Amino acid sequence: MQQFDFYGRHLLLNFSGCEADLNDLERIRQDMMDAVNHIGATILSHMEHQFDPMGVSVVLMLSESHASVHTYPEHKACFLDVFTCGHTIDVKPFGELLEERWQPRWASTQMYERLDPTSLKLPAIPALRS
């Protein structure tokens, strides 16, 4: 059985003051697909929902993991994320392309490296339990 690195990059983005119409499902879907293609990831499938009276959610299942957006047109804002497994894909251009297209006045990003916790040389922390 082929072994893969237990590693990934998770980019979280918050946009507000967007110039783009965040209630336009077709545009949001296409921009998300363009951003995923821009970073070289592979789209397997997608789900989307148009909320009433407004708002859009789009989730793209990727061969490498996922990308999603949830929009709040009444605030001209949205939350996005993209997660890819392995070391081969740089996720930063995903956010750069969407920032260019949606023109937020304010944007914040957080990048997380996800890895096997047993590879760290730290004391064990108990798993979260409900």
| Amino acid in the structure at residue 91 | V
R_g of the chain computed on alpha carbons: 16
Q: Looking at 70, 75, 108, 130, which residue is catalytic? A: 70
Q: Residue 2 above 80 pLDDT?
A: no
Let me know if 18 is a catalytic residue: no
Let me know if 78 is a catalytic residue: no
Let me know if 85 is a catalytic residue: yes
**Structural fold of domain 7-116:** S-adenosylmethionine decarboxylase (3.60.90)
Q: Which pLDDT score is estimated for 4?
A: 61
Q: Looking at 46, 57, 65, 78, which residue is catalytic? A: 65
Mean pLDDT of the chain: 92
Q: Looking at 57, 66, 68, 85, which residue is catalytic? A: 85
What pTM, to 2 d.p., does this model score?
0.87
Higher pLDDT, 56 or 7: 56
pLDDT tens by residue, 102-115: 999 999 999 999 88
Q: Which residues contact 2 (CB under 8 A, 6 or more apart)?
A: none
Is residue 23 a contact partner of residue 55, using CB atoms and an 8 Å limit? yes
Identify whether 93 is preceded by a cis peptide bond (ω within 30 of 0). no
